[in-house]
Every structure is written in structure tokens, then in C-alpha cells.
Amino acid sequence: MKSIQLVLLFSSLFLTSFFGLFAQEKEDYLITYDSIIGKENLAITNGLFHYNNYRVNDNKDIYFINEKYVTGSLNYLGQAYYNLSLKYDSYNDEIVYRSSGNSEKTGINLIKSNVNSFKIHGLNFVNLDKLDSEKNDFIKGFYEEKIKNNTLSFYIKHSKSKREVFTGKSIFVEFSDEAEFVLQKDQKFNKINSKKSIINVFPDKKKSINEYYKKNSELKKKDKTLFFNNLLQNISQ
């Protein structure tokens, strides 16, 4: 019996290592392929030029985290691309791509319907429009995938609100971060913004949800994203 268990254990470890090496080799191959043909010749170069003509105040601009391009990856029309210069315009919900050699001021808004997902700043984003078969009116574009397990998926919609600021004789614009939350359970998407909305999805967890709200009222005021994330992590265990 022990010999059989050892065989199964080594087989499992071999398969895990094999598929891990295969995935890494595939990524390395795609990076090499992109470098050979040149990213300017790839399908992702289709799209409209990106414009940002706002005079912003105090660096409160239209971009997620900041306006700088960072190295990221994406899945475009089912094809994976790596080592791309990307930034996310969360006000207009556009992923912006800059080909090599271009300045920080230039970029292309990638065709949204062709983008399945992207990774930027170490965070995963998915195009929920492509996953929402029910076409809910509250599902719009790209969402950060915060939790994904066998029980549920938790998504955050990062967006911006805009207001004008008068400084002397000049008019500037300030953009402020906003967030909406979506929960997927049993293939159904639900917008969550209150205790009631979560209990509607998890009626059997009503007691533990109520207790969590009582114990974490301060966290809810300070960081609503972390508040919901911790709650849903507990529920899904």
C-alpha cells in the first residue's frame, strides 16, 4: 500500500512540474515571437489613438493608480501577449497600449470587445461583458478579479468621478476614485452594496454576515473594498 501511495505522490509531483514548465515555456515562446515580428505588427495595434486633454489638479487624473505606462500582459481575441507597456484609463474604461519606442504621451485604446482580460500593477482584470450571458445592465466593461474560487467570484469596478476646480482665473479638473462591487455565484452576477444584498445571495449565512458587520463597522467606513473582500473570503471558506 505504501509503495502505491509513493508512486501516486511522485506521479502527481511530476505532472505538476511538467505543466508548470509547459506554461512557462509557452509564455517564453510568445515573448520571443512578439520580439521577432515586432509588437507594432501585432493585432493589438488596431484601435483609436488615446487622448487625454484634461488639465488636472494635484495629479488627480483619469488613470488607475497613475498615468505611467507599466509592464503588463493581456488576452486579446484569445491570444496571450506579454511584456506590453499598458495603462488603464478607468474614467473612460479603456486599456491603453504603447508600442516600443513611443513616448509617454502616445498610445492606442485597444478595442474593448476584443480584450478578454489584462494584468497590470500585479492585478488581474477581466471583461465581464464577455462573461455575462444574462447581459445585466449593471455589468459594464473591465473589473478587477479580487476573489475566484469554487464557491464565488468577487469583482471590483474601478471608475472615476469628475469635478471642476477653480484656481485663480484657471479651471482644472479633479478625478476621484470610485468603486462598485459585483459577486458571481452559481453562474449568476449580483451587484452588492449593502448587507441585505449579500444576505440575498447567501441566506444561509445570515447570522455570520450580521456578526461580521457588527464587528467591522470601522473598517467599512475606512476601506469598503477590504471590508467586502474579507467578508467574502470568510463566507467562501
Q: Name the CA radius of gyration of the chain, rounded.
A: 22
* pLDDT at res. 18: 47
- Whether 236 maps to a domain, the answer reads no
Are residues 64 and 124 located together in one domain of the fold? yes
Least confident of 32-36, 152-156, 180-184, 203-207: 32-36
Q: How many CB atoms lie within 10 A of CB 33?
A: 11
Any domain includes 15? yes
Name the domain count of the chain.
Answer: 2
Q: Looking at the structure, tell me whether residues 153 and 127 fall in a common domain.
A: yes
14 and 106 share a domain? Answer: no
Q: Say which range, 6-15, 151-160, 187-196, has the weakest mean pLDDT.
A: 6-15
Cell numbers that stand for 222 in this block:
475606512
Enter the C-alpha cell of residue 82.
Answer: 506579454
With H, G, I as helix, E, B as strand and everything else as coil, classify residue 207.
Answer: helix
pLDDT digits (tens, 9 = 90+) for 138-151: 999 999 999 999 99
Q: Which domain holds residue 17?
A: 1-37
How wide is the angle at C-alpha 6 spanned by C-alphas 5 and 12, nearest 5°? 90
User: For position 73, what pLDDT does the model report?
Assistant: 97
Q: Are residues 58 and 27 in the same domain?
A: no
Residue 232 — very low, low, confident or very high, per pLDDT cuts 50/70/90?
A: very high
Q: For the segment 144-173, what is each residue's pLDDT rounded down to a tens digit?
A: 999 999 999 999 999 999 999 988 888 999
- Asked if 112 contacts 93 with a C-beta cutoff of 8 angstroms, the reply is yes
